[in-house]
Structure 1
């Protein structure tokens, strides 16, 4: 299964906004509409749609920090497509894309300690917890294979 990351555009933003997570996951992520507003009005985050077989199945956003690290945020996999490799494919594709950018020192993300599924996924993809906290979330960084 191939996941491609595409810019959020006038043609696909509604499909991104329609993505939902399971009710018990809502404490870990915001609605995609919130993330889209951050991207549009915040001036920092860049939104991407995760696409499989021409269908939007996930959403993520990324930003560049002052130290050159790339941050992944707002990761949402549609509830109906979870546990099918979408999240893994999306993070793998985004990590490789960001790491290839000139000046990238590492790829970082954060998650709430209680989000065991995210913690396990990111660890399995090579993200290492650093001991840093970002808004009470655990920071993990990927520095390459």
Structure 2
């Protein structure tokens, strides 16, 4: 199983946009097409397709909040490719790329606390919960470097 993350380009954005999570997961993540649109109108947004061999199967978007802080805003694996270990490898690859950022001191992620797998999944990468966001909707977790 060859998993990689690659930039989203004019050649692959439609395939990335067509990826979807299950109906039960739709409240946990924005649609990829919306995230790609956001990334074109704001600076500091990085988008990556998650690939299994040559097939796009997922999506990442992270945002440089400050020179020392990057937040992972979007992370999804298409429902047909979940529970195969793809997300775990993709997260390792994304964190590796993010950590190459000069001056980086913190990586943040937020997730719906009712998401049954998020907490243990993110903790396994070293994220530590720090409390609810300012809207009291999502749990914030960080990796301090």
Shared fold (TM-score greater than 0.5)? yes
Q: What is the TM-score when the length of structure 2 is the normalising length?
A: 0.91
RMSD (Å) for aligned C-alpha atoms: 1.5
Deviation at 1:67, TM superposition (A): 5.6
Q: Number of matched residues?
A: 144
Tell me if 1:27 matches 2:27. Answer: yes
What CA distance in whole angstroms lies between the structure 2 residues aligned with 1:119 and 1:15? 29
Deviation at 1:43, TM superposition (A): 2.8
- Cα displacement string for residues 34-61 of structure 1 (whole angstroms, at most 9, x for unaligned residues): 1111111233422111112111010011
For structure 2, the 5+ residue unaligned runs are none
Corresponding position of 1:90: 90
SS at match of 1:101: coil
Corresponding position of 1:138: 139
Following superposition of structure 1 onto structure 2, how do residues 3-22 of structure 1 map, counting pairs within 5 Å? 3-22=3-22
* 4+ residue runs over 3 A deviation: none
